[in-house]
Structure 1
Amino acid sequence: MANILVVDDELGIRDLLSDILNDEGHTVELAENAAQARSARQIGRPDLVLLDIWMPDTDGVTLLKEWRGTGMLTMPVIMMSGHATIDTAVEATRIGAMSFLEKPITLQKLLKAVDAALTREPSAPRSAPVMEVAELAVGAAVTTHAADLTVEAAMTGGQSLPTIADLGPQGQRTFELDKPLRDARDAFEKAYFEFHLAKEGGSMTRVAEKTGLERTHLYRKLKQLGVDLSRGRRGNAAV
C-alpha cells in the first residue's frame, strides 16, 4: 500500500478522498493549501500526490512547476479540478503530471487513476492523458451550456423542477458571476443536482447513475452543497 498526499482546499473533498483511499489500505496525508503541501513533501516522501489546481494561495500548476524546478517532482502527481480548461490539463501533463481527474470524481475513475500512477514504471515517459482531456472537453461544453438542461423540464411530467422565477431568458438558469469562483461553482453544482433530483423524482439511485457518482459520494456532495433532498420527492416515491 502507498503513502498518498491529498492537496485540496475543500474540506469535503479531502475527507471523501481520505475515506476512499484509507478503505483501499493506503496511508493518507492531507493538505489544504500549497504551503502545507510543501511542508508535507519536504518532511516525507509520498508515493503519490493528488493535487487540486485551484487553491487560494498558490495554484496546483504553479506548485507542480516549483517541484519540478527544485528536483522534488520524484513522485507521480494526479491533478484535480472541477473547472479547468483543456489547456490547463495539457499544461499540467507537460510539466509532469501523471493524469488529470475532473470533479466530481467518481470512485471508479479515482481508483483507476491511483492504481495506474502507483504501478507505472519509474522510467516510463509521461504523456498527456488523451481520454481525460477529451472528457474534460465534453465536460467544459456541458458546463458552458449547462442551463440548456432546463429544456428537458417540459418532459418530466410537471415534477418539482426549478421554477420560472429561478430562470433567465428563454428558460435558462442564470448564475451570478460577480462572486468568488468557488461560490459560483457551488451554485452551478447545486442547480445541476437539484435538476436531476427533481427529474428523477428524488431517486438517489437514478441520480447516481445519471451523474456517474457513487451513492455515498453523491449523498455527501448534496449535503455539502446544502441541497434539499426532500425537494425532488414531492409527489413521487423515491427508489
Structure 2
Amino acid sequence: MANILVVDDEMGIRELLSEILGDEGHVVTMAENAQQARQIRAASTPDLVLLDIWMPDTDGVTLLKEWQRDRLLTMPVIMMSGHATIDTAVEATRIGALNFLEKPISLQKLLKAVQQGLSRAQDIARNGVMPITARPAAAPTTESLVKPAVAATPVVDASTLAPEPTKPAEPGFTVSFELPLREARDAFERAYFEHHLQREGGSMTRVAERTGLERTHLYRKLKQLGVEPGKLGRRGG
C-alpha cells in the first residue's frame, strides 16, 4: 500500500483515478489545483504523485520546477496531459518527472507507470540512491506522443474471448417492452452488472475480465448506471 497524490483540475479524472488506485489498495489524496498540491506536499511526502500539466492556476511543469528548486522533488512524479506537446513532455522529464501519460490513460499503462514509480520510491528509501531530480527519465519519443486521437472506450477483440453457451435469462429479472429503448437498455445493463458483481464478490478485476471491459470503462459504466460495487460485493459474499 502506498500514499499517492493525484493532482488534476477535472473532478471526474480525480475520482476515477482515486477509485482505480484505491481498488489496488493504495491511499489516495486528491488536489484540484497547484495550491492544494503545495499544501499537501508541505505537510507530508507522498510515495508518488500523478500531476496534470494543464491547470488553471499554475501548470504542472511550473509546479514541478518549484518542487525541484525548493528541494521537495524527492518522490517520483508522473505527468499527465491530453494536450501536451513533445517539447512540454521533454521539459518535464528533464526537470525530474519519471514518466508521462497521455489522456485518455489506459488502465494497463496507468498501473504499469504507478508500479514503476513506486519501485523507484522504494529504491530511494532502501538504498539511498540519488533523488529523482538527479536522474531524469529518458525523454518520451515522438512516436509515443504524436498519434491520432482514439476513443476512450476500449475495443475488445472477439477472437480472444472464448464463446459461452447460451443460458436462459436470470430468474426474477423482467423488463417492460413499454419502456423507451434507453430506459430498457439501462435496466438490463444494471441487472447484468449487478449479477456479475455479486457472482465475483465485488472484484472489479474479475468482473472486467468476465464482461470483456477494461476497468476504466467499467468504472464509468457502473457510475453512470448508479451501481455501487462495494455494496453488491458484501451482499454477494
Normalized against structure 2, the TM-score is what? 0.60
After TM superposition, what 4+ stretches of structure 1 lie above 4 angstroms from structure 2?
Answer: 219-224
Q: CA RMSD in A?
A: 3.0
Listed as ranges, the gaps of 5+ residues in structure 2 are 161-212, 225-237
Residue 126 of structure 1, CA deviation:
2.8
Do residues 218 (structure 1) and 206 (structure 2) align? no
Q: 2 CA distance for matches of 1:222 and 1:25?
A: 21
Residue 221 of structure 1, CA deviation:
6.2
**Alignment match, 2:145:** 137
Residue 219 of structure 1, CA deviation:
5.8
Identity of aligned residues (%): 60
Aligned mate of 2:136, from 119, 127, 141: 127
Cα 1:116–1:215 shift into 2, 3 Å: closer
Residue 88 of structure 1, CA deviation:
0.5
Q: What are the within-5 Å matches in structure 2 for residues 136-175 of structure 1?
A: 136-139=144-147, 142-143=148-149
Q: 1 CA distance for matches of 2:94 and 2:115?
A: 21
Q: Deviations over 1:120-157 (max 9, x none)?
A: 23226533445x43444332xx25xxxxxxxxxxxxxx
Q: What is the number of residues matched between the two proteins?
A: 163
Q: 2 CA distance for matches of 1:13 and 1:5?
A: 13
Normalized against structure 1, the TM-score is what? 0.60
Task: For residue 79 of structure 1, give the secondary structure of its aligned residue in structure 2.
Answer: strand
Residue 217 of structure 1, CA deviation:
2.0
Q: 2 CA distance for matches of 1:100 and 1:119?
A: 16
**Is contact 1:93-1:126 (8 Å) kept?**
no
**Is contact 1:52-1:79 (8 Å) kept?**
yes
Q: Deviations over 1:193-230 (max 9, x none)?
A: 4xx98xxxxx96469x9xxxx63423666899x9xxxx
Listed as ranges, the gaps of 5+ residues in structure 1 are 144-191, 198-202, 227-239
Task: For residue 72 of structure 2, give the secondary structure of its aligned residue in structure 1.
Answer: coil
If you compute each CA radius of gyration, which structure gives the higher value, 1 or 2?
Answer: 2
